[in-house]
Structure 1
Amino acid sequence: MPESPEVQALAEELDARLTGRALTGVDVVEFRIEKTRGRPPESLVGEHVTAVERHGKLIDLVFGAAGRLVVSLGRHGWARWAEAGEPSDAGLASGAAPGGAADAPPPTLATLSFGDGADRVDLELTDAGDWVSLGVWVVDDAFAVPAVAKLGPDPADPAFTRADFDAAVVGRRKQTKAILQEQESLAGIGNAYSDEILHAAKASPVAHAARLDEAALDALFTATVGVVGAAIDARRGIPIDRLKAEKVAAMRVHGRAGEACPVCGDTVREFSFASTTAEYCPTCQTGGEVLPLRSGET
């Protein structure tokens, strides 16, 4: 699932490459991605991009007074370039690891063309899932998109404060990992970075926020801001076809079950609950306790 560090890098690359360019064509292959049927993406053809912004895990292509094209990447969505006369740079866009066997490129559900002739560049919106999670809206205000309107404060925002964090976390009778992933509470964090944050904070993925003492809350706040900020810095400037692979390579515990913890050397373990999984280090995070593979097991 795309999360704020990679989506921020994507937004910055789109901003650099598309600002000032006119949208000259739209080809929607999967019409289920259109969420504003009365105002399709084609309605922006001829308009120029004035900026590209990020809201949580969503991309916002701004076309000045003409409107905005907001893209939710969903669970398996992403983007890739196709220069005029060249095949799309699918490369590692499907998430294959460097040097490994590349998966088949994910299908293109929509193509946005900018410019004409030899100067044209196509932005392909893809979805690698078994069900369509990609979505696009054409709106005047990004907050007209429900997924944007519901977003909580973003830990990547320089204005994010400890008070914002406390309002989202303190006293809640809910597992901390679930809160970190809850977009209404904290924008932009998903399964992978919640694991990384909890590992950095030495916090258990199953601990309820209401049971965290002041020291634990301090550590969790510092880790939340630090992990997200460092990941954004690390992804900045990396071409979008390599971002997913770079994310995978940078993980310390997420996706590392069975490997050694880079901090203490203990074996990273996996725990499943609800519809998600967590990877954690027993020594660093649970006082040596190995959690059952699935919630509710003994």
Structure 2
Amino acid sequence: MPELPEVHALAVDLESRLKGRMVDRLDVLAFHALKTFDPPATALSGLTVQQVGRHGKFLDFEIGDLHLTVHLSLAGWIRWRDKAPAGMPPRKSPIAARLVLDDGTGLDITEAGTRKALALHIVRDPAEVPGIAKLGPDALELDEAGFAEILKSAGKSRIKNVLKKQSFIAGVGNAYSDEILHAAKMSPFQPADMESEGVARLYAAMRQTLQEALARAEGQPASELKKEKKTALRVHGRFGEPCPECGEAIKQVVYSGSSFQYCPTCQNEGKSFSDRGMDRLF
């Protein structure tokens, strides 16, 4: 799933391509993806793209006096198209929606796999989108005092879950929460309400991790963002590989259709956490 750095880079790239351009139409090909009906998709026709921004992990296309918001979820992506489409895509195409500009160029919003979670909303105000209305403060706009208050309010909740819960902190997901905790040398199971030294260390790790990822991502074309993110991650998705800090093999925990990765030495005094998926296997 694209997180704050990739969504920010997508917004910057797409604004440079779309700002000031007129929309011919929005073709919605996967009708489950469009979560609103008023205004209709046809309302975007003839309007000019004002800007492209983001709210947490949501993309926000401001088109005329309307907003097209896009949440790419686990398997969604955006592909720029330099040429006018040759008819409609095949029935089983991964294209969920197609934004066509008045010269035929535009973008395809795609979703791979069978889990259909990509979400489009056409609204007059982004706050009308339930997921945006519930967002906590942006991870890079949050100061350390506000961060400390969030952790304190979360109490004994696991810090891994707090970092990636959008109503607490917007923009961080599964991958970057792994990276942040590794940089902070902190266990994913650490309670959120912690001593001030831990808060400062975790806050600094969050800022540095996201800012470095932003610097790498910004300026990259959309087609390269996934590859760039994957190659730059130090622990997430690196199960079995050596930790870049200490050389210990990266371990993982699988749960509820998801997983996280960590270094036992750097983050848990050399001890591995029980992995229920692997425990059942053996």
The reply to whether TM is greater than 0.5 is: yes
* Preserved CA contact (<8 Å) 1:35 1:135: yes
Q: What's the RMSD between the two structures over aligned residues?
A: 2.0
* Preserved CA contact (<8 Å) 1:180 1:186: yes
Find 2:198's aligned residue among 189, 208, 216. Answer: 216
The farther-off stretch of 288-297 and 220-229 is 288-297
Q: Which residue of 2 aligns with 1:101?
A: none
The farther-off stretch of 286-295 and 264-273 is 286-295
Report % sequence identity: 39
Distance 1:295 1:169 in 2: 29
Gaps of 5+ in 1: 88-104
Find 2:234's aligned residue among 238, 241, 252. Answer: 252
* Preserved CA contact (<8 Å) 1:176 1:206: yes
SS of residue matched to 1:75 = coil
Distance 2:118 2:243 in 1: 34
Matches within 5 A, 1:15-26: 15-26=15-26
TM-score (norm 2): 0.92
Q: Which residue of 2 aligns with 1:123?
A: 107
TM-score (norm 1): 0.87
Find 1:107's aligned residue among 74, 94, 100. Answer: 94
- Which string of whole-angstrom CA distances, capped at 9 and with x for unpartnered residues, describes residues 114-138 of structure 1? 132xxx3120001113121111111
1:275 shift after superposition? 4.3
* Preserved CA contact (<8 Å) 2:7 2:54: yes
- Which string of whole-angstrom CA distances, capped at 9 and with x for unpartnered residues, describes residues 76-133 of structure 1? 111001111589xxxxxxxxxxxxxxxxx971111001132xxx31200011131211
Distance 1:71 1:174 in 2: 29
Find 2:255's aligned residue among 273, 278, 284. Answer: 273
Q: Which runs of 4+ in 1 moved over 4 A?
A: 295-298
Find 1:142's aligned residue among 105, 123, 126. Answer: 126
Gaps of 5+ in 2: 87-91
- Which string of whole-angstrom CA distances, capped at 9 and with x for unpartnered residues, describes residues 222-258 of structure 1? 1111111111111000000110111000000000010
The one-letter code of the counterpart of 2:185 is: K
* Preserved CA contact (<8 Å) 1:82 1:122: yes
Distance 1:130 1:9 in 2: 26
SS of residue matched to 2:61 = strand
Distance 1:173 1:54, change over 3 A: same
Find 1:190's aligned residue among 163, 169, 173. Answer: 173
1:140 shift after superposition? 1.2
1:214 shift after superposition? 1.9
The one-letter code of the counterpart of 2:210 is: V
* Preserved CA contact (<8 Å) 1:41 1:69: no
SS of residue matched to 1:138 = strand
* Preserved CA contact (<8 Å) 1:9 1:235: yes
Distance 1:86 1:246, change over 3 A: farther
The one-letter code of the counterpart of 1:138 is: I
Paired residue total = 274
* Preserved CA contact (<8 Å) 2:38 2:123: no
State whether structure 2 residue 173 is matched by structure 1 residue 174. Answer: no
The farther-off stretch of 35-44 and 247-256 is 35-44
Matches within 5 A, 1:3-152: 3-64=3-64, 66-84=65-83, 107-116=94-103, 120-152=104-136
* Preserved CA contact (<8 Å) 2:38 2:122: no
* Preserved CA contact (<8 Å) 1:41 1:137: no
1:139 shift after superposition? 1.0
SS of residue matched to 2:254 = strand
* Preserved CA contact (<8 Å) 1:75 1:129: no
1:167 shift after superposition? 2.1
